[in-house]
Structure 1
Amino acid sequence: MLRLAWHDAGTYDKTSKTGGANGSIRLLQEYSHQANAGIKIAIDLLEPIKQKHPKITYADLYQLAGVVAVEVTGGPTIDFVPGRKDSSVCPEEGRLPDAKQGASHLRDVFYRMGLSDKNIVALSGGHTLGKARPERSGFDCELMREDSGGLLKLPTDKALVEDPTFCRYVKLYAKDEDAFFRDYAESHKKLSELGFTPPLSALSYKSCQKSKSQLMMQTAAGVAVAAALVALVYLSEFNQKLG
C-alpha cells in the first residue's frame, strides 16, 4: 500500500506540473512500467473499497492507504486532507527512482518533484516496510543503523551513508527516532500532496480524532483503510461545503 501511494505521487514534475498523486497508476499504461512491477496487487486489493465508496477518488484512496499502512505498523501519524482529483493521463516511464543508481540520481528524481535532501533520507526509512526486509514488519528507523546491519546494500541505500549531506541525516535519525518520525511524517505528507493543493479551510484526517482512534485499533492496512473511509467520506463532503 505504501509503495502504491509513493509511486502514484512520485511521478510529479514541478516544472511541467504533470504527474503526482492523481490516481493515474490505476491505468494499465502506468502500472505496466517496470518500476511498478507487482503493484497491481495493491490496486486490486483497494478496488472493492472504491466500488463500495464511489465518491472517493482513486487518488485520495491510494494516498490514504499509504498513510494507514505507516500508522498501523507503528509509524507516525501523517496529516491527510482529501480532495485530490483523478487523472487519466499517464506520465512517461522513467520518473521513479532506480535502486541501482546512486546519490546524483536520487537528487535528480526528488528535486524534480520539489523535495529536499532531508525528504530523500526520511522517506528512505519507509523501506523498512518493503519486501527487501522480509524479517521485519514494523515501521522504525532501523534502516539508518548501518552498524546493526539495518542498511540495505543497494546503490541508493549506500548513497545515504556515502554522501556527506545525506549521511548527516542518517546519523541523526539513527540515534533519534523521534526526529526521524517527525521528518518522515512531514516528508510523507509533502509527497502525498504533489500536484495537489489542499484548500486552506479544509478539515484534515488527522484532526478527526474519533476516526483516527478507530483506525489505530485495526491490525491490517486493508481493513484499516475500509474503516478510515467513513472519515474520508465525511471529510470530503465537509470540505466541499466549505467551498
Structure 2
Amino acid sequence: MAGATFLSTVQAPAMLGARGVAASPSVSSPAARRHAHIQVCCKGSVEGIEAAGHEERLRFRRRDFIGGCVGTAIGLEMVEGSTKFTGVATAADLIERRQRSEFQSSIKDTLYTAIKAKPELVPSLLTLALNDAITYDKATKTGGANGSIRLEISRPENSGLSAALDLLVEAKKEIDSKSKGGPISFADLIQFGAQSALKRSFLDAAIAKCGGNEEKGRTLYSAYGSNGQWGLFDKTFGRTDAQEADPEGRVPDWSKASVQEMKDRFVAVGLGPRQLAVMSAFLGPDQAATEERLIADPDCRPWVEKYQRSRETVSRTDYEVDLITTLTKLSSLGQKINYEAYTYPKPKIDLGKLKL
C-alpha cells in the first residue's frame, strides 16, 4: 500500500464541511469563531499499482491533491486578513460619516434660524445659488457651484442679492465657530442656503393650505412633504471654493432676458425647458410674473402648467420632487466633491490614565 498524508492547521472565519476536512468544535461567540482553528487533513492511498506509468500518474494526482489543500489553507488566511482590514476601514468610514452628518445638522439649524428671522430673503437666496452654479462652462470645465459669486456680487445680474449674501456671511461665522473640521466653504454654504430657503417655502405653502395654522401646516408638511427627497443633495457636501471670479457674460439678467436666452443658458449646462419651468421661483422675487413669461413659450408651457397644477395639490409631489432633483444637479456643476471634508481626527485615549 502506498499512501500520502498532509496535515495543516489554519485560521479561518468559517467552518468547512468538505470531505477530508475535520472542523474544530463549534464556537459560540463571533470573536472566538473568527480565531477558530480548522484542521485540514488530506489523505490519498493507492493499492495494487505496479506499473511505472501508473506510479507517475499517482504522483501527479498526489501533487494536485496536496496543492489543492495548500491553496485552501492560503485562501482561508487571505479571507481572515481581508476581513480584519475591511472591519477597520468600515469603522473609520462610519466615524467620518457621523462627523459630517453632525456638522451638516448644525449648518441647517443655523440657516433655519437665520432665514426664519428674514423670510423676505428667500427668493434672493434661491437666485444667489442659481447664479453661482449657472456659470458652469462644459467646454472648459470652469465655473459652476464654486462660491465665486461672493466675488461677483457687484455685477448687474446679481443686483439685489447682497442682502442674501450678507445673511450667509453672518451665518458662516456662527457655523465656523462650532466646527471641529474646519470652516464651511462658501460653495457649500450658498447651496445649503438655497436648500433651507426652499424648505421654508415648502413649509409656508403647507401652512397656507391649512388656513395659516402653523401647527397643522407643520403636520401636513411632515405627512406629505418632500423632506425624504433630499438624500442625494445632502451627500453632495464638500465643495471647494474658487479663489477668483468666474468670467463675465455667463449669467443672464433674469429680469430682462428673453425666454429663449433663459433656455439657451439652461441647455448650455445640461438642463432644459423642464428644469427652467420648475425653477421659476429662482428667477426673481415674483414667481407668478416669471411663469407668465415662461408659459408663452411652447417648450416651457406644458411644464409650467404641470407644476402649477401640482402646487394646488395637498402633497405638491411633482413640483417639489422635480425642483429638489434639479437643484441637486445644478449644485454639483463644476465640482469634485471631497467626501472627507469637515472630518477630524478623534482624540486619542490615554490608557495609562484610565482607572480600572
Classify the TM-score, shorter chain. Answer: 0.5 to 0.7
Residues 155-209 of structure 1 show CA distances to partners (whole Å, capped at 9, x for unaligned) of xx4442122221111121122232111111111111111112447xx5xxxxxxx
Q: Say if 2:165 is the partner of 1:165.
A: no
Q: Which residue number in structure 2 is paired with residue 35 of structure 1?
A: 157
Give the SS at the match of 1:82.
Answer: coil
CA deviation after TM superposition for structure 1 residue 69, in Å: 0.7
CA deviation after TM superposition for structure 1 residue 238, in Å: 5.0
Q: Which residue number in structure 2 is paired with residue 107 of structure 1?
A: 263
Q: Which residue number in structure 2 is paired with residue 140 of structure 1?
A: none
Q: Which residue number in structure 2 is paired with residue 124 of structure 1?
A: 280
Q: Which residue number in structure 2 is paired with residue 184 of structure 1?
A: 323
Residues 115-141 of structure 1 show CA distances to partners (whole Å, capped at 9, x for unaligned) of 1221111111445xx533xxxxxxxxx
Q: Which residue number in structure 2 is paired with residue 74 of structure 1?
A: 202
CA distance in 2, matches of 1:72, 1:198: 26
After superposition, the CA RMSD in angstroms is 2.6
Shift of the 167–24 alpha-carbon distance from structure 1 to 2, 3 Å rule, reads same
Q: Say if 2:164 is the partner of 1:51.
A: no
Letter in 2 for 1:71: K
TM-score w.r.t. length of structure 1? 0.67
Q: Which residue number in structure 1 is paired with residue 11 of structure 2?
A: none
Letter in 2 for 1:74: F
Give the SS at the match of 1:165.
Answer: coil
Q: Which segments of 5 or more consecutive residues in structure 2 lack a partner in the other structure?
A: 1-124, 177-181, 204-225, 311-315, 347-356
Q: Say if 2:120 is the partner of 1:19.
A: no
CA deviation after TM superposition for structure 1 residue 106, in Å: 1.2
CA contact (8 A) 1:11 1:91 kept: yes
Shift of the 189–239 alpha-carbon distance from structure 1 to 2, 3 Å rule, reads farther
Q: Which segments of 5 or more consecutive residues in structure 1 lack a partner in the other structure?
A: 133-142, 144-150, 203-234
CA deviation after TM superposition for structure 1 residue 237, in Å: 3.4
- Given candidates 127, 130, 137, the residue that maps to 1:6 is 130
Q: Which residue number in structure 2 is paired with residue 237 of structure 1?
A: 342
CA distance in 2, matches of 1:109, 1:40: 23
How many residue pairs end up in the alignment?
A: 183
CA contact (8 A) 2:126 2:281 kept: no
Q: Say if 2:268 is the partner of 1:90.
A: no
Shift of the 47–125 alpha-carbon distance from structure 1 to 2, 3 Å rule, reads closer
Highest relative contact order (Cα 8 Å, sep 6+), 1 or 2?
A: 1
